[in-house]
Amino acid sequence: MTYEKQQILQGNLRRLEETQNALLEKQLAHIGELAALLCDEAGEEEIFFRDDNFAARYRAMTAGSEENVAPGSRDRVTGEKKWLSTAFRALLLRRLCEKLGIVGLQGAGTFFDEPDGGGDDTVSYLHSALTDEAFRAFAVAMNDPKVLYGDTFAEVCEHVYYGRASCCILPVENSTEGRLAGFRNLMMKYGLKTVSICSVHDAGQERTTAFALLRRNLSLPDAAPCFFECRVEAGASFPELLCAADTCGMRLLRVVSVPEREGTYDVVFRIGEDGFCGFLSFLYLEYPSFTPIGLFGAIETSLGEPS
């Protein structure tokens, strides 16, 4: 009798799984059709995620207002009620970017300001043996780099902010103290973006320090693997953000809560190149106050990438 019951239960579960798979296939097909409809709203003149008309159309497709809810249910609705799940909203935008040909790291350039112009690289930093070593590592990819020393870390940032230098170097983490919050605050104050990371090991102190090369604008890394860091005010909806990231092939590396701003997080992802642009469009539409603070190449294990 027990064996027969087991067979019945297993058969029921198998049939339910087959039904779920069939429904999922239909849902994915409908998501593709919605993405095709959104293409008509994307336009050619405006970048779609910054266009108010497109944003309104997107919200009409993904959220129902109180007016569309049955009267008996309105007392349970506050603001907009999402009827399309986070995963499907992220997938919708991923499919949209694919249909528009906005894919990969090159496509991601659409979402950010133009990179700093060419010419000679002038790098500002506070002189020390470790920072000299970091400069030599960064200089390999630069065009005739020159050095402009600063007397304080704030002055180093000001050199970039006021255009006296094209980039600067700051320590952002070390193996004994972890994340160096004061330097992160300087980055945010002057609006500087991480474009490269290198780690320098100090054998004398048995400590490794991670240095960031910072510019006013993001630039696209030359090769994978690549990493993206942003600050986002997510609050209770933070799990939705992580769900969208996973749907778009992004791999979470680090989450740090910003102490002075409740519900705000600095998040680092390893980029899933095929879905990166979809994830960026999700951020712009669902978390419009987010701030991109880094787009950079391979990082050392001290910053969270497993060995």
Rounded Cα gap, residues 282 and 265, in angstroms: 17
What pLDDT is recorded for position 8? 66
What pLDDT is recorded for position 302? 38
What pLDDT is recorded for position 206? 80
Give the predicted TM-score (pTM) of the model: 0.81
Please give the average pLDDT of every successive group of 10 residues along the chain, which has 307 residues: 69 69 68 78 72 85 55 38 80 90 86 64 93 91 91 96 95 89 92 92 81 91 84 89 95 89 91 91 93 80 37
What pLDDT is recorded for position 71? 42
The answer regarding whether domain 227-303 maps to CATH 3.30.70.260 reads yes
The answer regarding whether domain 122-215 maps to CATH 3.40.190.10 reads yes
Q: Give residue limits of the domains in the chain.
A: 2-103, 122-215, 227-303
